Amino acid sequence: MESVDFLLFGLAILIFSGWCFSVFLHFLSIIYGKWLLHRSHPDVVFEDLPGISILKPLVGIDPNLFENLESFFKMKYPNFELLFCIQDEMDASRMIVQSLIDKYPKVDAKMFLGGRNVGINPKINNMAIGYEAAKHDLILISDSGIKMDEDTLVDMAVYMTPNVGLVHQMPYTCTRKGLASTYEKVYFGTQHAKMYLSANVLGINCAVGMSCLMRKPILEEAGGLHEFGQYLAEDFFIAQAFLDRGWRTKVCSRVAQQNSGSYSIPHLHQRLCRWMKLRTAMVPGTSMFWEPISLCINLGLLNAWAVSFLFDISPLSYLLVHILIWFLLDYTMLTVLEKGSIPFSKVDYLVCWCLNEISYPLLMLQSHWDPIITWRGRNFKLKWGGLVEELYVKQTV
């Protein structure tokens, strides 16, 4: 009996320590976000900024594509080029790009059609020709759904110091209409922001490729962009290649403003499931063990038992206090990203926060149950280590 009590005591200490660490990460991400985000750079000498080649992979259009692409033509930066990589000659995005090139003739912009098959990753294939044509040593890969402020390139270039090989933006979202937009903001501004910022403080590779500036010569040392066509999560492996060669990666002070015109809660859930499946294949320990118990409800239930065992505290009372603390810390994190008050009501925040906390554990179970990834209309089967193979549907006549 004493041995059982000792084991339970050890388990309770372990769970309580995990709770303390999670709360520490919350405070760490808030403090770091307050220190890092929304900085200005008034002392930057424009003439000293390096040239940047911006790769924009495009497939299809959405209602906000013109607005998003135009924000890059309006960038205040002394030397950059826009390289639009369009998968198919008949793609409707080609007309939008051409109209912007005609509207801004002074901007160095080119279109590349068709791509090249260098691997299994459609995005890498799409960018292959544009990457080879890039004339600058700094490459920015930027997804079509990203909208940029006019000073964002300056901000990213400032963080590209001599010992830094890759600068990335923390994913966030623009303010749009509807509950789905609010839900996206709550997810990316709370749970995801805490993970992203604290991981960067601790030196953990979590670079996201939706907006990522990197040194082309170092990428060439790693085999060039086509080398990463064998992975779906090419951003993780590109960042790891820089780290393995002794280069640092940094997150800059401007967030990546996702501004897709087509958005919904089911669509976000599909994205989250896809990312979970990729993390399970690449970093299974984090995805399968730490991530599930770091969630508010899961950790709260576990620690409710732990504190009742250790300190004789009512589990229900503790759980309510735990949820309140988590809720307030998440709200504070969101205001840090917004640099002030949130752009929706506190009731909307409460509804979306609860929806995220309830649905996320279910999405994790779904991601483990079905390992197949559907992306851009194609199906892929993941292998351990992040490698993938495409699944082809047999057609009968």
**Beta bridge pairs of residue 248:** 164
Alpha-carbon span 84 to 77, nearest angstrom: 18
Contacts of 220 (CB under 8 A, 6+ apart): none
- In this prediction, residue 293 has a pLDDT band, given cuts at 50, 70 and 90, of confident
The residue with greater pLDDT, 372 or 343, is 343
Mean local confidence (pLDDT), 293-308:
92
On the question of pLDDT at 102 being above 70, the answer is: yes
Quote the pLDDT of residue 2: 63
Mean local confidence (pLDDT), 369-389:
75
Quote the pLDDT of residue 390: 75
Mean local confidence (pLDDT), 293-316:
92
Residue type, 370: D
The residue with greater pLDDT, 261 or 293, is 261
Q: What percent of the chain has pLDDT over 90?
A: 74
Least confident of 145-149, 189-193, 217-221, 273-277: 273-277
On the question of pLDDT at 330 being above 70, the answer is: yes
Quote the pLDDT of residue 82: 98
Residue type, 227: E
Whole-model pTM: value is 0.93
Mean local confidence (pLDDT), 33-45:
92
Quote the pLDDT of residue 392: 65
Alpha-carbon span 138 to 132, nearest angstrom: 13
Quote the pLDDT of residue 302: 94
Quote the pLDDT of residue 397: 40
The residue with greater pLDDT, 389 or 165, is 165
- In this prediction, residue 380 has a pLDDT band, given cuts at 50, 70 and 90, of confident
| Residue corresponding to tokens 């950790």 | 299
DSSP string, 287-352: IIIIHHHTSHHHHHHHHHHHHHHHH---HHHHHHHHHHHHHHHHHHHHHHHHTSS-SS-HHHHHHH
The residue with greater pLDDT, 253 or 281, is 253
On the question of pLDDT at 27 being above 80, the answer is: yes
Mean local confidence (pLDDT), 254-266:
95
What integer best gives the mean pLDDT of the chain? 91
Alpha-carbon span 130 to 65, nearest angstrom: 19
- In this prediction, residue 383 has a pLDDT band, given cuts at 50, 70 and 90, of confident
On whether the CB atoms of residues 26 and 194 are closer than 8 A, the answer is yes
Strand order in the sheet with 378-382: 372-375, 378-382, 388-391
Quote the pLDDT of residue 306: 95
Mean local confidence (pLDDT), 83-99:
93
The residue with greater pLDDT, 381 or 264, is 264
**Among residues 143, 155, 235, 330, which one is catalytic?**
235
235: annotated active-site residue = yes
